[in-house]
Each structure stands twice: as structure tokens, then as C-alpha cells.
Chain A
């Protein structure tokens, strides 16, 4: 009896048992704890949180552990869990201007009020594999810069707005902010929905697309205006209180990129900006997001759209890693019914083709 793809329940149970066994690995090696993951694998945790749309390092660590370090799988686990949580309300807009800075760089200015702070960055490290990590590595405690409150680091973009180079971004409270986790994303999308989609997007996909804009596919000259990283307060207005209370703090990375306005734009000369924001130290993600926020402004800025990164249908339609991985991997599901229908068609096409050949042979001989 044919049973290659069938055989359901027992096979599934056995496969999952094997998976769990493999996850644990050699029992002689101590089991990984989730605090070890979120304390020592913070960048992976940050990525799982932003693509999973849930700011919870402990749960992201559980997801990474359960997924055996497979980031895409961990993102999926976190999203599916997030989805079952009740929606109590929306926090007040985060004030990144009041961020307690740990890192702040303004590559477009040699110096800026508030100064430059490198913070805990991989930049300027020599990527020499450090064999000490193969055993144990106990670094000394680090000296940390503390922000100077007398010299606040006002985002440099504000000065450029004041000088008239950038159009101010005026808050529009006339309509509710989109929530792409609660409503189907309709195209063309507003910037709110676009930024949400980019924030949840797969970093690898975003990186490749953002890079393509730098290589001339819909690109502009791009400047990183400002990157800031640090803690911000999260505040919420409970219905029963009617005023905002701080309910916690979270580390964020914010990035603003600047492009000189294109000549084919229908606006005047100046600078346009793109915006990126990621949980934790997701700096590459925030930067990619900012580049793509800018390239996707092509439609509203009346620019010529001729590259993938400017095409909203293309970018927003394909950036979600959970969706992409799911659909790609569904190829592993049985497809024998459609494939067989395909083969049957091919056979009948082959038959009619060979009949035609026979006919033409006959004609030749006749």
C-alpha cells in the first residue's frame, strides 16, 4: 500500500520527539538557560523582537531556544504568541528626543550639540576571530559615557528643519494610526502602515533592497543624518486615570537618513528624509528601514519609479519573513494532485504534438 507521504500521526509525533532530542543535544553539556540567551545573545534577541513585533527579551529568548537558534523560526513563534494577547490599548507616542542616550552619531556633521557617542558598537572593531571565546572570556567593566544634560543632543534634523532644508513633519491627529496587525494592509499604503511593515520586515530582505538603492537601483545619494540608541520611557493612558503614566522603559535604535531632493521631484530643492526604528540595538535594521522608507516615498514625491526598492507593491508584498518563509516552505507539502494534473496535460500535449508530427510526415510522403 502506498504510504510515502501519508502515515500521519505517528510519524509527526516521532519527528517532533527527534527534534526535541536534537535541540537538547549532548546531555553532558549543560542546558542553555534563557537568561544566558537574552544576556549574551542580545542582538539575536533584538532581531527576533522587532520582526516578531513583541518587545519582550525573555520571551524572545524562549523562542530562540525553542527554535534552536533559527531566527526565522523564533520570529514565527513570537508572532504566533503575540497574536493571542489581548489588545488593551496603544501607548503614547515614544519621545525619542528625550532618549537616555547610550550611542549617538551624526555622520553628516563633524560635531553637533550633544556630541558624538560611539556606545557599544561593533564599528571599528577588527573582525579577528577571538579564540579566547572558545573557552571563557571575562572582560573588565567598561567606562560609560553619560549624557550631558546641560548640552542636550537635539536631533540634527531639527536644525535642518529650522534652516528650511527639510520639510517639518507635522503630527496629524485627525485620523487613527494604522495597525497592520489588526487591519489588512491596503495599497497604496500610508507612511504609518509602511513604517510598520518595514519594522516587521525580514532584515535580510530589507538589507538586500536597501543595498540595491545604493547601487543605482532607484537610489539617491544617501546620508545617515543621525543614529541614536538608548532607553526611552513608555507611557500609557489608562482609561480609569485619564492621564499618562510611565509603564516601563525600552532600548531603541532610531535612524534618520537624508537625501538631496531629486531633480524630477515636483517639490522644490531641499533634503528628504527616511526614518527607521528598531528594538534594542537593531541598528542595521533601522538603517535599512530608513533607506527604504525614503525610496518608497517615490510615489508621493512624484519621482520616476523604475527600481524594485521604489515599488511599494513589490517591497511591502514580499518583506514579511514569516509569510515568505511559510509560503516558500509549503513547497514541502504534497502537491501530487496538481502535479498529476500537470503531467496529464503535458502527456496530452505531447500526444497531440506527436500526432501532428505524424500528420506532417504523412504529408511529406504523400
Chain B
């Protein structure tokens, strides 16, 4: 399947896209505030969704608040469209909103993602919605919400820098492999969600609006299009993107994030693109794959 046209007109007995209109408006208001203050975590009254907390309810609520009848929705998990949870979320919206769905990044108007940023560059008419388990980049250095709010207000990110410095001092490099915090618009420190460091660069100056939803923690935040996003780092330590030195065994790409696939018990490994749509497009030139 590439793009699937809408089938039904939503789920009987439920509002379009599940949430009632008051709730959708409440979330859109929170998102407007989030866009106005890039990187700042805006509290919102997350609802129980029919999918469990921790399984993407923040992203789902943003998608449910934004989705309209003319939208084309793409959902990925770990870069893949056919991962079980991505499938489950895509079906949820196909069922409750009756919207068209796609695996084609360039066809989608709304993309919900978990743990990856698509390899295909995004456009100004697209919105990328991240599922965020923990919106608080300072949680590991300060578990208390009341205190982290104060640190953000004061722009006091000394503890976060110290935590990185401790990794450098101990391991000779930054140990944070994913979810490496970013400074948004030279203001707030934000969690990029657990994307690999490889993807951090894609957040910077992106043409698309990037929205982040944490349902369990009841926070949304945003990176508006073409916003400066810098990974928290030191001037005198080179930023290591964790780039591959392998090529994708399927499409031959050398500039994508690759999944490592263990082929046998002897530990033989193969590599292929984590972004299944991009990989297919490289192999078949984007014509009728899958």
C-alpha cells in the first residue's frame, strides 16, 4: 500500500477523530502557545485515549486535534510504517476520522513519529508530530517538576551541561546515544524525544512545523519552521553524529540511519535503512513499491 483513500466517515457514536471538539480546541490552544514560545513545555490536560499512556498518547492527541478531512496521515515507529504500534495508531485514525493514510513521506500532510525523523526532507506544508515519553530534558539531573520549571525559567542549564561533561570526563565522549537535549531558538532546552543523535541535525532549520506531545506527562512543545536548533554540546568537543560507516543492504544508501539486523547466532549482521519508505523509494525509484 502507498496511499489509502478514506473509507468510512469515522466511528459511530464518537466525534470525528475521537476527541470531542472542546478537547481538540483546548489542545490546539496549547499548541499555539507552544509555537509562540519555541521549546517551552506547555501544560495541557491530556485525556485518556483508548491507547495506553506511553504508547504515543501525546502524539495521538496532537494528531487528533489537528487532523482534518483533507489530511493525509503517515505514522511511523522506529522509522517503519509497518511496525505494530504504527499500524495500530494509523488504523485508529483511519477508523475514528476516516482520513486517508499513506506510507509515502512526500504525500503526507501530517506525520506522526516515534523515535525517528524521516530521511526525506520535509516541506513547509507538512507537520511532524513526535511521540514523547519524557518532555523534561532536566529530569535525570533534577526529578522535581517544581524545580525544573524554575531552572527553565532562569535558563539555568548548568546541571545539564555538567551531566554531559561528566560523560566526557568519564568516557572521553558524550555517552548520550539518543534523546540528546537541544537548545531551541537559543532559549529553552528541550528533549528531541528518543531519536538517535544521528537525527538531531534534522531538527535544525526544518521547513516543517515540528510538534511534540507527551500525554502521560501532560506537556506539548513545538519547534516552528526554520528555527535554530542546537544540540547541547561543548565548543571544544566535536559533535559526533554517530554516522554509519556501512551501506544499506537493500538500497545502498550510506547517508541514512541503518537498522542492524542480526542474521544468525554467530552474530553475522546486515544493515538496512530504518526509514522503510525512504529505502523502498531508493530501490524502486518511488514508483509503486510495497
Contact = CB atoms under 8 A, between A and B. Distances in A.
Nearest to A346: B177
Contacts of A348: 173
Contact of B54 (A9, A12, A185, A330): A330
Interface stretch (A148-156, A260-268, A331-339): A331-339
Contacts of B77: 333-334
Give the interface size class of chain A: 35 or more
B79 A337 contact: yes
A171 interface: no
Contact of B173 (A11, A322, A349): A349
Interface stretch (B151-159, B182-190, B224-232, B254-262): B254-262
| Interface of chain B, main secondary structure | loop
Interface in A1-40: 2, 5-9, 11-12
A84 B198 contact: no
Contacts of A326: 52-55, 57, 216
Interface in A179-199: 181-188
Contacts of A12: 84, 87-88, 91
Interface in B216-263: 216, 218-219, 242, 257, 259-261
Given A12-B87, A337-B178, A340-B259, A80 B54 contact: no
Q: Which one of A187, A330, A342 has the greatest number of beta carbons of chain B within 10 Å?
A: A330
Given A184-B46, A337-B116, A342-B177, A322 B87 contact: no
| Interface of chain A, main secondary structure | helix
Interface in B143-166: 143-146
Contact of A188 (B22, B83, B85, B146): B146
Given A185-B218, A313-B146, A322-B53, A337 B43 contact: no
A9 B91 contact: yes
Contacts of B143: 313
A328 B257 CA distance: 27
Nearest to B174: A345
B18 A84 contact: yes
Contacts of B45: 181-184
A78 to B, nearest CB: 9
B3 interface: no
A185 B44 CA distance: 9
Contacts of B210: none
Interface in A292-341: 313, 317, 322-323, 325-330, 333-338, 340-341
Contacts of A341: 177-178, 196-198, 242
A113 interface: no
B82 interface: yes
B83 A349 contact: no
A82 interface: yes
A184 B43 contact: yes
Contacts of A329: 52, 54-55
A352 B43 CA distance: 43
A284 interface: no
Contacts of A183: 45
B78 interface: yes
A7 B82 contact: yes
Interface of A: 2, 5-9, 11-12, 76, 79-80, 82-84, 86-87, 181-188, 313, 317, 322-323, 325-330, 333-338, 340-345, 348-349, 352
